[in-house]
């Protein structure tokens, strides 16, 4: 009798574990929706038009990331928030290296995250690894991408 109960519990535990693993795998392979209109998910098919062509008019910051990569998970929201703050002064293009191995090979991506800045169809600067927001803003400023002007602080006059 005890063996039957133990076997039933093991079966239920196995089923629950299987369901959990399947849900985790599905979440890991979901393509995240762009956080703003200044961000786009890019594939090998859309890369030339979305990145190379767009970079002739507007700088494009390309984030080569992996869904399973903790530094990528940290940097992704930092880049998205920075893109929102810069209000279109650059486009943030996101490339999932696991889904787009041809792009990873084309740009010789060895570590994630790798972030490349494109202008006029060419890579003009890059960095590898997670960075805090101030460091991303400094990287952009070094490469001529400036945030919108902020209105002067109120002097308390009414």
> Given a cut of 90, is residue 32 above it in pLDDT?
no
Residues 6+ apart with CB under 8 A from 38: 83, 84, 86, 87, 88, 90, 91, 92
Residue ranges per structural domain of the chain: 36-142
Cα separation of 129 and 119, whole Å?
A: 21
Query: What is the SS3 assignment for 38-71?
Result: CEEECCHHHHHHHHHHHHHCCCEEEEEECCCCHH
36-142 is classed CATH 3.40.30.10: yes
| Confidence at residue 3, expressed as pLDDT on a 0 to 100 scale | 74
Measure CA of the first residue to CA of the last residue in the chain; give whole Å. 82
How high is the pLDDT of residue 28? 44
pLDDT in tens, 44-55: 999 999 999 999
The catalytically annotated residue of 52, 69, 99, 125 is: 69
Helix count (H) and strand count (E) of the chain?
A: 5, 5
How far apart (Å, rounded) are the C-alpha atoms in residues 86 and 147? 5
Beta bridge partners of 94: 41, 63
Q: Give dist(CA 126, CA 148) in Å, integer.
A: 22
Q: Which of these, 86, 94, 70, lies nearest to 136 by C-alpha position? A: 86
**Rounded to whole angstroms, what are the CA distances from 108 to 64, 67, 97, 104, 122?**
11, 19, 11, 6, 14
Is 72 in the active site? yes
Q: What rounded mean pLDDT belongs to the chain?
A: 85
**pTM as predicted:** 0.74
Read off the pLDDT band of 20 (50, 70, 90): low
> Is pLDDT above 80 for 1?
no
Q: Which of 42, 60, 66, 72 is catalytic?
A: 72
- Using a 10 angstrom Cβ sphere, with 0-12 exposed, 13-18 middle and 19 or more buried, the burial of residue 84 is middle
Query: What pLDDT score does 7 carry?
Result: 58
Indicate if the pLDDT at residue 42 is higher than 70.
Answer: yes
Could you report the per-residue pLDDT of 84-134, keeping only the tens digit for each? 999 999 999 999 999 999 999 999 999 999 999 999 999 999 999 999 999
25 or 87: which leads in pLDDT: 87
């Amino acid at each position: 009798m005890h063996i039957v109960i133990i076997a039933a519990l093991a079966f239920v535990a196995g089923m629950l574990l299987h369901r959990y693993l399947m849900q985790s795998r599905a979440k890991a392979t979901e393509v995240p929706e762009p956080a703003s209109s200044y961000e786009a998910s890019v594939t090998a098919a859309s890369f030339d038009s979305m990145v190379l062509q767009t970079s002739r008019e507007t700088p494009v910051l390309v984030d080569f990331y992996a869904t399973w990569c903790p530094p990528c998970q940290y940097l992704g929201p930092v880049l998205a928030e920075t893109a929102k703050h810069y209000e279109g002064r650059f486009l943030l293009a996101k490339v999932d290296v696991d889904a787009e191995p041809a792009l990873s090979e084309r740009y010789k991506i060895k570590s994630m995250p790798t972030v490349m800045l494109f202008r006029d169809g060419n890579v003009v600067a890059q960095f590898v690894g997670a960075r805090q927001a101030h460091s991303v803003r400094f990287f952009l400023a070094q490469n001529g991408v400036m945030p919108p002007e902020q209105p002067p602080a109120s002097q308390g006059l009414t």
